[in-house]
Amino acid sequence: MGKITKYLPSAILGSSVAVPLAYIAYIYQKDDRQKQHAILRNFPLLGRVRYMTEKVGPELRQYLFAADNEGQPFSRIQYQDVVKAGKYNERLVGFGSNRNFAEEGFYIRNSLFPKLRTELKVDNSEKVKTYQYIIDHEGLMSRREHREEVLTDPYYLRDEDAVVLGEGYCRQPFRIKGQVGMSAMSYGALGQNAISALSKGLGVAGGTWMNTGEGGISDHHLAGDTDLIMQIGPGLFGVRTPGGEFSWEAFKEKAAMEQVKAFEIKLAQGAKTRGGHLEGQKVTEEIARIRLIEPGKTVNSPNRFTEYDSFEKLFDFIEELREAGGKPVGMKIVVGDVEGLEEMVQIMKDSGKGPDFISIDGGEGGTGATYQELADSVGLPIMTALPIVDELLRQYDVRDRVKLIASGKLITPDKIAIALSMGADLVNIARGFMISVGCIMAEVCHTNTCPVGVATTDPELQDGLVVGEKMYRVANYVMSLRAGLFNVAAAAGVESPTMLERKHLTHKDIQGRISSVGSMIHKIEQEERKEKDVEELPDKE
Amino acid sequence: MKVFVFGGGGDVGEYILKKLAAENHEAVTVAETENRAEELRMMGAANVIVATDHKFVEAMKGCEAVIYVAGANPTAGENKNVLVDKDAVTSAMTEARKQGIERVIYLSPARMDESDESQQTGDKKIPEELIKLDTFTYTIVSASRGVDKPGKGVVSAGNFNREKNAEIPYEDVAAVLVESLSNEATYNKTFELAPGDTPIDEALQKIIKTR
């Protein structure tokens, strides 16, 4: 005993100096022998420090150094807005906006005579039972809070304002009493807990929908009794024969499901104008059963439906699907080729055929995994793409046949309201919902190592995500978005967000000048004419 | 029974409309605007008149009871310096009497746990004193702080020593008011309503004993 107390302090002191020294000597020597990194050969210690700080840089910036408005794809403050809406059902901010008003951007034109709360055409006749957090005490090192069961106003649209997909064109049109739904997220890209929490949360909120993603309908999508839009991608997952052909039997089986309300053919996705690749080891028995593929075998899906290379063929396919299933059929596109789009709309007009809805994904849209070159520079952002499609459809008199669903970073009510004013009937959200089930934007969706168990199928990591808790955050988030939309509508002087139009929107440039957003195509044409005029100027020489 | 609900558009009012519809009563109420009236009809009100149409008298015809949820409504009344529009209560009661309505249930705007001083502020207590003096078969309820939480179906009713910080779901307050309509134990009684663990009908039966 005496010996231990006598030598312990010096032993600790000795080892605390000796061990790091030994480690430094070890890596010094080791680094000298490697050929991979020049910096480590010349400056092994500093080089190590450099790699380490580079690795933890994003975390340090996110938590310590980035200002509230910094950070992409979503700033710290946007992220917090989503989390607070889900957790506390709270959208209030103190002191004022954090938006940079010097930058250019869209603004809602507020009416000088806004609508009163009692003048809104909202349906809050059935309240929704949900849970929300209440903070008891906020300290530096701890926050005491508890969860309470509450009744919340769901902010549904009135029956007469409900958005209907496929009205008058198919046997079972899809009526939706809200304008916000979940964008395509497959089981496999997201884990079962995340998908179940989303499905149940959307089910609680009602008046919304869930897009299954191209990975087929899983039991987890069905867990919460919410309405589903089944997506069909070029891989034909869930609706294919073993040989990889389209299976009408499988399709009819899906169409007969009560929860499936519509189908969406995915031609492209904002961040991913490419085909899919599913590694054989990820094709579990369950995934194989859902997608109708062979377990353990790698699947490469093409970046286009191999059979359909023209609008005529595609529209005929849509007609057949609608006839066989009796439910609305839409398509998801990314806008880049405006002339191609005009051709499509022309064919819609001439043939009388076409989709019941078009989901327009902005180039800024998210994805689990893609290539940088496609994510950054292929496809127009939503606030350009959306008005172009809306205007083309109007120009050719087919706008009333098709509903537009917009997506691309529309995670707060103001952004959604701007999209609705720009011509969208509905809005799809993916990452906002991921955040509401616990995503912390670690940006490792493609690695299956998501630290919060959202974008992973790893059972251990998924264990962290509790479905019964997160589902209510999803419900609160949707209801809070809808409440926010009514707020904006009231400020703009209309009774319902379905009444928002271009005239409720204005664009302010960097010098403070405002311009109307009445016609995007007209502006493009004007610019083209100007350019042409310049080209045609006679040479002076 | 045809029941006229004053304050049907309020927090408690909405639940009163639903509860009345569920128990096959016919609710008549008033809304500020046509859009709001439509929503109250969706909640189960049989007839909703818009305040600005001035059709109170007509709407009250044939009603057998009045449920009055008093409260400070920012869009009603011109004299905002009083928290409860005393004149509105008085004229409503005068009209009710004229129509031969005998049963009046009144939810006091004064919370049971308010201090005496607070209870006096803005003449909150005066309307209920007037109702008591009238010829109606009255029930006057003073409740704990209402919250938007799911109703439990259990309360405690009677007289308390102003239990502080207790909260009661709006749904339960509404259920008590509707239940009181034809529950003789509540006739000509003033009682306090707080959260508890007695089923509502039982809790109301007990009032007769406590008074």
If you ran DSSP here, which 8-state letter would residue A190 be given?
B
Query: Which has more confidence, B209 or A295?
Result: A295
Render pLDDT for A360-392 as a digit per residue (tens, 0 to 9): 999 888 776 677 877 788 889 999 999 999 999
Q: Is some CB atom of chain A closer than 8 A to the CB atom of B149?
A: yes
Q: Do B35 and A119 touch (CB under 8 A)?
A: yes
Name which of A78-92, A204-218, A222-236 the model is least confident about. Answer: A78-92
Name which of A22-26, A116-120, A350-354, B155-159 the model is least confident about. Answer: A22-26
For residues B145-180, one letter each, b for 16 or more C-beta atoms within 10 angstroms of the residue's C-beta and e for the rest, the string is ebbebebbeebbbbebeeeeebebbbbbbbbbbbbb
Q: Is some CB atom of chain A closer than 8 A to the CB atom of B52?
A: no
Q: Is some CB atom of chain A closer than 8 A to the CB atom of B22?
A: no
Select the residue of B43, B147, B171 nearest A125 (Cβ to Cβ). B43
Burial bucket for residue A169 (CB in 10 Å: 0-12, 13-18, 19+): middle
Mutate to test the interface with B, among A125, A129, A177, A472 (most CBs of B within 10 A): A125
Q: Do B75 and A116 touch (CB under 8 A)?
A: yes
As a whole number of angstroms, the distance between CA A234 and CA A305 comes to: 5
Q: Is some CB atom of chain A closer than 8 A to the CB atom of B39?
A: yes
As a whole number of angstroms, the distance between CA A208 and CA A156 comes to: 9
Sorting pLDDT into bands at 50, 70 and 90, what band is A408? very high
Select the residue of A125, A148, A495 nearest B42 (Cβ to Cβ). A125
Q: What is the pLDDT of residue A401?
A: 94
Query: Which has more confidence, B82 or A171?
Result: A171
Which tokens sit at A500?
Answer: 């928002």
Mean pLDDT of A116-125: 94
Q: What is the pLDDT of residue A366?
A: 74
Q: Do B148 and A125 touch (CB under 8 A)?
A: no
Q: Do A125 and B9 touch (CB under 8 A)?
A: no
Q: From A131, which residue of chain B is nearest by alpha-carbon distance?
A: B149
Mean pLDDT of chain B: 86
Render pLDDT for A215-252 as a digit per residue (tens, 0 to 9): 999 999 999 999 999 999 988 999 999 888 999 999 99
Q: Which chain A residues are closer than 8 Å to B30 by Cβ? A: none
Looking at the predicted structure, is the pLDDT value of residue B81 above 50?
Answer: no
Please state the ipTM of this predicted complex: 0.88
Separation in Å, CA of A129 to nearest CA in chain B: 7
High-pLDDT (> 90) share of chain A, %:
59
Q: Do B39 and A119 touch (CB under 8 A)?
A: no
Three-class secondary structure of residue B143 per DSSP: strand
Q: Is some CB atom of chain A closer than 8 A to the CB atom of B36?
A: yes
Report the candidate in A269, A267, A270, A299 with the shortest Cα–Cα distance to residue A282.
A299
Q: Do B149 and A124 touch (CB under 8 A)?
A: no
Q: Do A495 and B39 touch (CB under 8 A)?
A: no
Which tokens sit at B81?
Answer: 């310096």
* Residues in chain B, total: 211
If you ran DSSP here, which 8-state letter would residue B31 be given?
E
Q: Do B171 and A121 touch (CB under 8 A)?
A: no
Report the candidate in A152, A198, A154, A153 with the shortest Cα–Cα distance to residue A178.
A154
Which tokens sit at B65?
Answer: 């009871």
φ, ψ of residue A348 to 5 degrees: the values are -60, -45
Q: Do A118 and B148 touch (CB under 8 A)?
A: no
Q: What CA–CA distances, in Å, run from A183 to A116, A202, A305, A430, A498?
A: 32, 12, 21, 5, 20
Query: Is residue B186 a contact partner of residue B148, using CB atoms and an 8 Å limit?
Result: no
Q: From A155, which residue of chain B is nearest by alpha-carbon distance?
A: B39
Looking at the predicted structure, is the pLDDT value of residue A259 above 50?
Answer: yes
As a whole number of angstroms, the distance between CA A458 and CA A295 comes to: 18
Q: Could you tell me the sign of the dihedral formed by the alpha carbons of B110, B115, B119, B121, in that order?
A: negative
Mean pLDDT of A472-489: 97
Sorting pLDDT into bands at 50, 70 and 90, what band is A22? confident
CB atoms within 10 A of CB B26: 17
